[in-house]
Amino acid sequence: MPVVLIEALAAGTPVVSTDCPGGPREVLQGGMVGRLVPVGYPKALSEAMKEALLQQPDHQGDKKLLFSRPEARNMLFLSRHRS
């Protein structure tokens, strides 16, 4: 589980991730609450990072969308209470 993505979204930080196996697509809700780029495309990753840095995200809107799904709330709870 990509805990760092969950924690970054909870903090309102813009998120960019590769669409690798292991959960980023699910956590970022298919790219709706963070940017997803294909694995193996460094140019796409750098462009997405640049866009994330230049844009002023709507943190409250992102959080509302993220936490509208029960599984997202559960993932955040688990990430904060892991041993």
Q: According to the model, what pLDDT value does residue 1 have?
A: 62
The domain segmentation of the chain, as residue ranges, is 3-80
Q: According to the model, what pLDDT value does residue 39 have?
A: 95
Q: According to the model, what pLDDT value does residue 64 have?
A: 56
CATH superfamily placement of domain 3-80? Glycogen Phosphorylase B; (3.40.50.2000)
Q: According to the model, what pLDDT value does residue 67 have?
A: 53
Entry pTM = 0.65
CA dist., res. 22 & res. 37, Å (int): 14
Instruction: Locate 12 and state its tokens.
Output: 């309102």
Q: According to the model, what pLDDT value does residue 83 have?
A: 46
Q: According to the model, what pLDDT value does residue 56 have?
A: 61
Q: Which residues of the chain have pLDDT under 70?
A: 1, 56-83
